[in-house]
Structure 1
Amino acid sequence: MNKIKDRPIYGFTVRQILSFLAIGIIGVPVYIILMNNHIDTTISCLIICFMAIPIFFIGTYEDVHGRYLEKIIKDKVRLMFLTSSERPFATNNSFDAIRKQRKLEEKYDQMVRDGKKRLEERKKISSRRKEKIKRILRINSKKGMTKKDA
């Protein structure tokens, strides 16, 4: 719907008509002032043309995407001066998340294996201690000693 524009007079948009009016309102008095100061007609026409070209360009230029000149200039200024020149590229990488999850799972599995090894070592140590205590008790019982005496 934005692509359809009102063209009220001779196929010109309201924006174009306003720019032509601005050129006329500014250009005619400037021409009269220049002529009263005895400046050559050719030079005064060139001055008015150089004055009118930017106004005409602002009023009539529209790029392919429907943006007017002031919007384009505003975007260029923002891009060149107001934003940082280095923009890091960042994506949402689902494969990276899967890789991190695998690393965490491997780390967890390693911790579980280490815990099991420690538990087995403790069991071995406790079974060795029990055997040692039994051996001492057997030796003491052969000698006729009690637990309190040892």
Structure 2
Amino acid sequence: MINHRFNMLIKIQQDREEKLQAHFVKAQQFYQQAQQKYQGLANYRTEYIQQSQQQGSAGLQSRQYNQFVSFIGKLDQAIQQQGRAVQQAQAAAEQRKQSWLAMQKKRKALELLVQRNDAAELQKQLQQEQRNADEYASQQFMRRLAAEPLL
């Protein structure tokens, strides 16, 4: 009866654990995507500067230079914003991982409790069987003793 209840609790814990694991996987994927976006922006900024330097070696007009500086500033802002998004995604993934691991720990504790309870029940059963066997052997001995003639 008790094990049945614990088994139901374990099943509920497993379901919750699976959901938390799925949330963690999604958060981890989102974090990786955010990192890729960040890296893509950083790479684009580097390439844009290199191309502009190559074009600038032939000479730039002040208007082109101002556009270049303005665009680099916007890229820097986008990179900073994406960097914050990466940090937030990483924190969310870590939090979900910890929630998942905590639920896993609870489930394992319940399973260990059930195992210990099963072992205790088995030990009680074995002791009862031994007592029954001892009682039977004792009764057999007493019957034989009673059946033997006295000398």
TM superposition score normalised by structure 2: 0.40
For the pair shown, the structure with the greater C-alpha radius of gyration is: 1
More helix by share: 2
With CA pairs under 8 Å and 6+ residues apart, which has the higher RCO, 1 or 2?
Answer: 2
